[in-house]
């Protein structure tokens, strides 16, 4: 997905899509009310306006706990991005390095987050660091894959020209390889950003003292009385992921204006 959202025609489709989701949500909640008791129906899928009311009612608590989750996820995301970028640069420097590191990089992703989170939390015994580590864990793999693909997409004739001019390895990376890798890097970041938030919440479900995951568990414990809080927490988590994606997309638009999707017909940047 690009920044087509800012184009008038695309914005209209986004509005239609959001409206359709809202209508379907309300219709589904109403259908449950017909076949179940009001309490049972609300515990499964409350009306959207009730969720929005809870979102405003508990806004201070949600903002406080959301900041905890987002802060840890952001730190882990930044660390995972730097780790992934560094490994991608190393693997691009020599074929033997790529062949040596690739099996370990791929194998590291074989353990699912839901299984690894309690292990990390049990070893570290610190909720904050466990969230950061898990966010970095889910981040570095897509960063490596997409950045390495971007590094390999550099035009061979450009690299050959720089070699013939006596350009150093550092100069080739700065002037040719890294610009070629930026689109891939941003693609990996857009994939990893929402995953970093999700992984932080998974750690919080394991018994962390604060965060959105704690609100989810506590609201489920109180059942019908806190169903609005539960769904408000879900909506906030989705919102954090979408905002993260949008911020990275804006940065991509600013730093890589030469990409075809950011240029209008005729070659002018949009």
pLDDT at position 139: 95
Within 98-202, strands assigned E span: none
Cα–Cα distance measured from residue 70 to residue 149, given in angstroms and rounded to the nearest whole number: 29
Tokens representing 249 are 């997309």
pLDDT at position 189: 95
Domain ranges of the chain: 1-45, 47-262
Distances (CA, A) of 159 to 97, 154, 167, 264: 20, 8, 9, 28
pLDDT at position 62: 93
Tell me which residues of the chain have a pLDDT lower than 50. Answer: 1-3, 6, 267, 269
Cα–Cα distance measured from residue 83 to residue 198, given in angstroms and rounded to the nearest whole number: 19
CATH, domain range 47-262: 1.10.3720.10
pLDDT at position 166: 80
pLDDT at position 264: 63
pLDDT at position 169: 77
pLDDT at position 1: 45
What is the model's pTM?
Answer: 0.84
pLDDT at position 34: 76
Q: Cα-Cα-Cα-Cα dihedral of 51, 223, 218, 70, to 10°?
A: -30
pLDDT at position 223: 60
Contacts of residue 180, Cβ cutoff 8 Å, sequence gap at least 6: 150, 151, 153, 154, 155
């Amino acid at each position: 997905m690009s920044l087509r959202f800012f184009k008038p025609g695309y914005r209209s489709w986004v509005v239609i899509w959001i409206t359709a989701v809202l209508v379907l949500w309300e219709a589904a909640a109403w259908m449950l009310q017909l076949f179940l008791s009001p309490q049972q129906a609300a515990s499964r899928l409350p009306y959207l306006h009730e969720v929005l009311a809870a979102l405003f009612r508990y806004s201070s608590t949600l903002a406080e706990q959301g900041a905890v989750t987002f802060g840890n996820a952001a730190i882990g995301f930044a660390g995972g991005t730097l780790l992934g970028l560094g490994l991608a640069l190393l693997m691009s420097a020599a074929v033997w390095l790529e062949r040596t590191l690739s099996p370990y990089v791929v194998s590291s992703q074989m353990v699912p987050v839901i299984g690894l989170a309690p292990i990390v939390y049990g070893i570290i015994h610190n909720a904050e660091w466990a969230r950061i580590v898990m966010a970095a864990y889910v981040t570095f793999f897509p960063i490596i894959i997409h950045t390495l693909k971007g590094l390999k997409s550099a035009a061979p004739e450009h690299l050959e020209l720089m070699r013939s001019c006596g350009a150093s390895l550092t100069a080739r990376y700065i002037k040719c390889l890294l610009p070629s890798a930026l689109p891939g890097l941003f693609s990996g970041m857009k994939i990893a950003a929402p995953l970093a938030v999700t992984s932080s919440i998974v750690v919080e479900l394991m018994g962390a003292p604060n965060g959105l995951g704690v609100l989810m568990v506590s609201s489920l414990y109180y059942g019908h009385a806190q169903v609005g809080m539960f769904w408000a927490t879900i909506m906030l988590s989705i919102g954090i992921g979408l905002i993260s994606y949008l911020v990275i997309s804006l940065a991509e638009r600013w730093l890589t204006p030469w990409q075809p999707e950011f240029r209008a017909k005729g070659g002018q940047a949009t």
